[in-house]
A and B are shown apart, each in its own frame.
Chain A
Amino acid sequence: SAVISQKPSRDICQRGTSLTIQCQVDSQVTMMFWYRQQPGQSLTLIATANQGSEATYESGFVIDKFPISRPNLTFSTLTVSNMSPEDSSIYLCSVVLALNYEQYFGPGTRLTVT
């Protein structure tokens, strides 16, 4: 399995500001993902964080709003830019272990935008 940590665990931010969420994994992983879970909803994939290249974004998500960095195989950041109340969600990073295809999630970051 993989142990994943996220910082911050929660935050309350003002409209128009930006927040950077960090994701740290205890082992080197190739595939790393960022998800959003709006209140009472399922998970929606934001992007795949690729090491050494730009992230691959899903439909409805753009780099200007959600810039992602992946400087190495154990770390990634997601920035939520120019926040609005609609960005209030849980943001989760996840990794897939190539050996067993299992996907593991970090504990999530609860973001509230006022």
Chain B
Amino acid sequence: AQKITQTQPGMFVQEKEAVTLDCTYDTSDPSYGLFWYKQPSSGEMIFLIYQGSYDQQNATEGRYSLNFQKARKSANLVISASQLGDSAMYFCAMREFNTGNQFYFGTGTSLTVIP
């Protein structure tokens, strides 16, 4: 089974609007971390936000917030007030802390912000 599933290959959003990028995960490890990365066309991977499995509150970093629903095993990324510079690939990732060091990446969502 896929550890990380991103079901939206491509998304469009109007500039200044909010957008939600979906991510579901699969793990039996009670201790894990969830990550979101942005990859612009330049190819670099930019860390955006982190959510630990024991964190009580949803993580927020500026315009990025993570909608963490543990029972549903989902960790959706919400980008508020979209900007043209937000156009990029977005990857959701997970690390299981008790079962090794490997990060599992989803297949990514391509976000295009429309002016």
Using a Cβ–Cβ cut-off of 8 Å, how many residues does chain A contribute to the interface with B? Answer: 24
* CB within 8 Å for A103 and B47 given contacts A42-B91, A43-B91: yes
CB nearest neighbor in B for A58: B102
Contact indicator per residue, chain A 86-114, by CB within 8 Å of chain B (1) or not (0): 00001010101000111111111010000
Size band of the interface chain B makes with A: 20 to 34
* CB within 8 Å for A103 and B95 given contacts A43-B105, A45-B103: yes
* CB within 8 Å for A102 and B47 given contacts A43-B91, A48-B101: yes
List B residues 68-97 near A (Cβ within 8 Å).
91, 93, 95, 97
> Is the CB–CB distance between A42 and B95 below 8 Å?
no
| Given A42-B105, A101-B52, A101-B95, 12 other A-B residues pairs in contact with their CB atoms under 8 A | A1-B47, A37-B43, A41-B107, A48-B101, A96-B101, A100-B50, A101-B33, A101-B50, A102-B35, A103-B95, A105-B44, A105-B47
> Which A residues contact B (CB, under 8 angstroms)?
1, 31, 33, 37, 41-43, 45, 48, 58, 90, 92, 94, 96, 100-108, 110
